Each structure stands twice: as C-alpha cells, then as structure tokens.
C-alpha cells in the first residue's frame, strides 16, 4: 500500500487564468524540457528525449509530433527513462499530459500493460520512498485524452523519473504528448481533494432514487420495542424482550452479499437467534459500488427480503451502517432513505454507525470539524485501515435527528468510542436525546479479548441503559496487535456469562467462515469449537457462569 505522500488526486479541474487589476499572473514554468516533443534533433528524434530505437519513435500526425511506444515483441519491456529536475523548496507537483492507446493487451499479470511509471530520485539518482502511482491503460482509447494528477514531493527528492512504458504487455501501442509538470503548493492538493469530493458527493446525491415507505409485511410476529429503564420491552405487552443472536457480514464488502438468506435461515431456525445484525454499506445502498449498474436496486431488495423473512419469524433485524470514525452528512443521507423505507416496521432497529473512533466524546455527540489524525490501529481488522483525514461531522445526535425527521419511531442503537467499545462517556453527560415519540435509544458496545476494563467501559452503562453488544467474539490465533492469544475456552464462557448476568442484548461476531472471530468453520454452518459452539449453546438456553470482570 502506498504512503500518503504517494497518493494522487485524479480530477477534471478547469485551468483558470487569475488576474489582479490588469496584471496577468505568468503560468508556472514547465519542468519538462521539450515536453511537447516539437523540437527535433539530428537523429530524427526529439531534443532532450532518448534516441529512437526498437519500440520508441516520434511520429508526426497532422503536423504534430508526439512520443510513441510500441510493443514489437509479446511480453517485452519497452520504456523511456526521462529524469525531470525538481527545484529546491518544491512542496508538490502537478502533471498534465495527453495520452492515446491502441490495442493494449495485458500480459500474465494485471499490471503488465501500458503505464507511466514514476519514481522520485535523490542527488545520486537513488530512489526516494514515496513513489507516485502509475497511470495505466489497456484496451483502446477512441481518441486523445487529457489527464491530470498531483503528488507531494518527499524530503530528499531532487528528480522525478518519468518512465512511460509498455510493461510486459502482449501487444499494444501508447502515444503521449504535451507533458507539463509544474511546482505547486501542498495546499493545492488538499483543495483539489475537497473540490473533487464535493463534486462526487453532489453527483451521487443527484442520482439517488429515494425510497418510499414499504408497507409492513403481512403475517409478522415481531412486536414494536421501546426502552424502559435499562431493558427493552414490548410496546404491546410491556414484557421484556431480550435480543440474542448473530452478526451476519459480507454486505459491507460486496453488493451481492455471501449466502445472506441461507445464513438468516440457519441462524434463526438451527441456532435459535431472535435477532440478526446485518452489516450494510451506504455506497452499495445507493448503487455507487463497483459493478453496480442498477442504482442499488438489487442491494436494497435483498435487505427487504431479510427484513420481511425475519419479521415473519418473530426475529428482529439491526440494520448496521458498517462504517467508521464519526457521523457525517453521507451517513445522514443513508439514514434518511433507510428510515423512510422501513419506517415503523416493528422488527427493524437502526444501528446508526458501526465503530466511531479517533474523536472526543463531544465530537461523538455534537460533531464539528474533525482534525486529521494518526493513531495506532489497535484491535481492528484490515477493513478498518482507513485514513483519518480531516472531516466535518454532524455527530451521533445529528443521525438521531435525521432518522426522527422522517417520522420513523424505530428503536435506535448507538455505538460508543474506541471502535464501538467504550460507553463511559454516556454516563458523563454525553447521552443522546430522542424525540418525544421515538421508541428510544440503546447503546452499543463491541467486546473482544484485547479489550479490558469491562466495568468502566460497558458494565456501568448496562446498569442504567439497555445495551446491544453488537460485536463480540474470540479465536484461537492472536491478532497482529496481541502479544499472545487469549484462551478462548476460558474467555468465551465467561463473556457469555457476563452477557447473561446483565441481560445484555447481543449479536455474536461473526456468522461467516472467514470474518474473524468466526462462528462458522465452513458454509456447511458447522460451528467453530472455540467460539461458535459456545454461542450456539447459549442461544439454545444454556446458562454460563460469570466469574469475574475482565
């Protein structure tokens, strides 16, 4: 994975000329000498560029000279090496170029194609870490295209080595022209990112096909729930409803899900779950994921099926927005649509945000301008390795308000800090406020063996508020951040004993054979002996002893 220094911003920014009175600011000097290859030399090539050779030429078309790289041997490597000096004090670079490619067929690997490789070099032409990404091309372009990219310049870099090439492609041709590289400020990249993000968000918002409220299915057995003290109770009978079940993953990483309906059937009919926590992703919900061509229709309809099947079984569904860090406007847009769609479905609970982290309790509740931050990724999986860039948050209270603004009264679940584990701030004045007609808010905690101080982080809160332990689990192998593994055969029964002691609502992670800690060994739904078997026994009514706080 590339460092932040190497991340490029691709955009379609307009080039503007700025004036102050009658004075026109001069354009920055192009660092690429003869970047348009118009100046020729005696060898028939282009001045300041390599001499023509096998696969390298400078043809003229309609009076315009350009660089051409052609594969003359399948799997060959045809490349030009062109170092560009970087002026002292340069913070960042902006590069624009024209490109055209024809019949480029990839070789044995996905990166064996046409590409413009780049590396930063020091005074001795040794490589400096922080290489820019390589624009790459395959197939055929219909015409010349203009590309633009920007990158930060790492400390010690004196040259940028341009290496346009056909890199072990089976065949093809790459044409390049009008290469312009100019120094820019680091803040220009930040501004470009923000502008591109605004443009993307506006386009996605404009493309949304907004949901209408779905009728409550006929024949459902779930009863509407509300908060009463530190318990959930049926609004019909007033009796406590204790939610015990599993978390079903995959719809947060693939729009089609993996065995979702079969997992719902197995977990409820065989394991005995009365609640399912279904992980969702806002990108997929609105149809903006890779390969989605239906604006999210199939994704939403799969969620509809889960909601209907579960409610008819008398099983509750927590729709878990499986995203991170802090509540944002994007999350509010998601909840506006989801809450409208499942408004007042008695078996549907809204899990507002999976795992907040890297913020203060005030920012958690009220939002604000969240600063960029680097922190240790303790206790997280690979899917959680997101960049902690600066952002604007609306706070968890903003998500509560977004849901209630639709008229939906559904029960809500709000995860705490420290990747959903820490609920201490709820008792320190940062509890959320529900609307007068809302059915209440339970607070969500995620507990794993590497999390300590149970009493401070969730047991104290359980004595005042209803909790959902939305993720909980253990495994044999130590996680990368653990010095050694906790014995699951000791931890699992004690954890379940704690859940039972305080009657905490819970959904064990994870009803999937490859999302650790796993409840399943395989898609035959065989429970893992170190975690799945304990959970299945608990869901079927077995009592476990709670020996001591962890």
Q: What is the DSSP string of 503-523?
A: T-EEEES-SSTTSSSPSBSST
In angstroms, the first-to-last Cα distance of the chain is 36
Give tens-digit pLDDT for 235-293: 999 999 999 999 999 999 999 999 999 999 999 999 999 999 999 999 999 999 989 99
For residues 272 and 539, the answer to whether their CB atoms sit within 8 Å is yes
Q: What is the DSSP letter of 406?
A: T
Q: Which of 221, 246, 224, 245 is nearest to 233 (CA)?
A: 224
Beta bridge partners of 506: 244, 469
For 460-473, how does the pLDDT look when each residue is reduced to its tens digit (9 = 90+)? Answer: 999 999 999 999 99
Mean per-residue pLDDT of the chain: 90
Residue 92's closest CA among 134, 141, 151, 17? Answer: 151
Question: Which residue, chain included where needed, has tokens 């006929």?
Answer: 218
Cα–Cα distance list, 333 to 205, 339, 367 (Å): 8, 10, 16
- Identify the CA nearest to 544 among candidates 481, 501, 489: 501
Residue 17 has pLDDT above 70, yes or no: no
Mean pLDDT of 32-51: 87
Other residues' Cβ atoms within 10 Å of the Cβ of residue 184: 20
Which segments of 377-515 does DSSP mark as H helices, in order? 395-405, 417-420, 454, 460-462, 488-502
Distance between CA 134 and CA 339 in Å, rounded? Answer: 42
| Structure confidence by residue, pLDDT tens digits, 168-189 | 999 999 999 999 999 999 888 8
Instruction: Name residue, tokens 């959902």.
Output: 468
- Residue 389's pLDDT band (cuts 50, 70, 90): confident
Query: What DSSP string runs through 146-194?
Result: EEEEEEEPPTT--EEEEEEEEES-SEEEEEEEEEEEEEE-HHHHHHHHH
Listed residue (75, 77, 74, 43) closest to 57, CA to CA = 43
pLDDT at 458 over 60: yes
How far apart (Å, rounded) are the C-alpha atoms in residues 26 and 528? 68
pLDDT higher than 80, residue 221: yes
User: 396 pLDDT band (50/70/90 cuts)?
Assistant: very high
Confidence band of 538 (pLDDT split at 50, 70, 90): very high
- Cα(378)–Cα(450) distance, integer angstroms: 9
CA distance 495 to 474: 10
pLDDT number for residue 376: 46
pLDDT in tens, 281-326: 999 999 999 899 999 999 999 999 999 999 999 999 999 999 999 9
Q: What is the pLDDT of residues 2-16, one digit of tens each?
A: 333 333 333 332 223
Report the DSSP beta bridge partners of residue 65.
60
**Residue 522, token pair as written in the block:** 């395989």
Omega of the bond leading into 510 within 30 degrees of 0 (cis): yes
Answering whether pTM is above 0.75, one says no
Please, what is the Cα angle at 414 between 545 and 322, to 5 degrees? 95
The pLDDT of 397-426, averaged and rounded, is 98
**pLDDT tens digits for range 115-164:** 999 999 999 989 999 888 889 999 999 899 999 999 999 999 999 999 99
Q: 176 — alpha (psi -120 to 50), left (phi > 0) or beta?
A: beta
In whole angstroms, what is the distance from residue 315 CA to residue 400 CA? 24
Relative to beta strand 355-356, strand 324-325 is parallel
What is the rounded CA–CA span in Å between residue 147 and residue 366? 40
pLDDT on residue 103: 95
Q: Which structure tokens are listed for 116?
A: 């413009």
Q: What structural domains and CATH numbers belong to the chain?
A: 4-201 (2.60.120.260), 239-539 (3.20.20.80)
């Amino acid at each position: 994975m590339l460092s932040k220094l190497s991340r490029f911003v691709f955009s379609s920014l307009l080039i503007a000329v700025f004036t102050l009175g009658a004075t026109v600011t001069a354009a920055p000097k192009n660092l690429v000498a003869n970047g348009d290859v118009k100046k020729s030399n005696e060898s028939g090539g282009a001045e300041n560029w390599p001499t023509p050779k096998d696969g390298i030429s400078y043809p003229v078309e309609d009076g315009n000279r350009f660089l051409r790289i052609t594969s003359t041997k399948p799997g060959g490597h045809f490349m030009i090496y062109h170092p560009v000096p970087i002026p002292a004090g340069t913070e960042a670079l902006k590069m624009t170029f024209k490109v055209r490619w024809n019949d480029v067929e990839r070789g044995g690997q996905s990166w064996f194609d046409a590409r413009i490789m780049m590396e930063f070099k020091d005074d001795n032409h040794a490589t400096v870490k922080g290489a820019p990404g390589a624009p790459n091309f395959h197939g055929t372009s219909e015409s010349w295209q203009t590309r633009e990219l920007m990158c930060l310049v790492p400390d010690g870099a004196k040259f940028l080595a341009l290496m346009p090439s056909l890199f072990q492609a089976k065949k093809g041709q790459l044409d390049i022209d009008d290469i312009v590289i100019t120094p820019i400020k680091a803040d220009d990249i930040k501004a470009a990112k923000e502008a591109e993000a605004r443009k993307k968000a506006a386009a996605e918002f404009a493309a949304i096909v907004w949901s209408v409220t779905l009728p409550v299915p006929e024949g459902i057995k779930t009863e509407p729930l509300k908060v009463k003290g530190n318990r959930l109770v049926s609004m019909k009978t007033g009796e406590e409803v204790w939610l015990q079940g599993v978390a079903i993953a995959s719809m947060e990483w693939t729009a089609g899900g993996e065995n979702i309906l079969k997992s719902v059937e197995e977990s409820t009919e065989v394991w005995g779950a009365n609640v399912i926590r279904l992980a969702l992703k806002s990108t997929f919900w609105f149809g903006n994921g890779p390969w989605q061509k239906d604006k999210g229709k199939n994704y939403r309809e799969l969620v509809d099926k889960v909601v209907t099947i579960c409610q008819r079984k008398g099983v509750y569904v927590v729709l878990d927005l499986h995203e991170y860090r802090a509540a944002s406007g994007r999350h509010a847009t998601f909840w506006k649509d989801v809450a409208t769609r499942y408004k007042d479905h008695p078996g549907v609970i809204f899990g507002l945000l999976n795992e907040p982290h890297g913020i203060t309790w005030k920012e958690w509740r009220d939002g604000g301008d969240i600063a960029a931050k680097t922190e240790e990724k303790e206790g997280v999986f690979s899917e959680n390795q997101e960049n902690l860039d600066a952002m604007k948050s609306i706070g968890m209270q903003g998500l509560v308000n977004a849901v209630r603004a639709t008229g939906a009264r559904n029960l809500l679940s709000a995860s705490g800090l420290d990747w959903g584990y820490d609920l201490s701030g709820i008792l320190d004045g940062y509890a959320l406020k529900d609307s007068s007609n809302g059915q209440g808010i339970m607070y969500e905690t995620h507990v794993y063996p590497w999390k300590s101080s149970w009493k401070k982080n969730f047991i104290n809160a359980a004595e005042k508020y209803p909790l959902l332990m939305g993720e909980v689990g253990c495994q044999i192998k130590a996680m990368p951040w653990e010095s050694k593994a906790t014995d699951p055969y000791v931890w699992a029964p004690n954890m379940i004993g704690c859940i039972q002691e305080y009657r905490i609502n819970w959904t064990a992670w994870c009803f999937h054979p490859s999302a650790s800690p796993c409840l399943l060994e395989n898609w035959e739904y065989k429970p893992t002996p170190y975690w799945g078997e304990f959970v299945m026994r608990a869901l079927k009514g077995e009592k476990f002893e709670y020996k001591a706080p962890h």
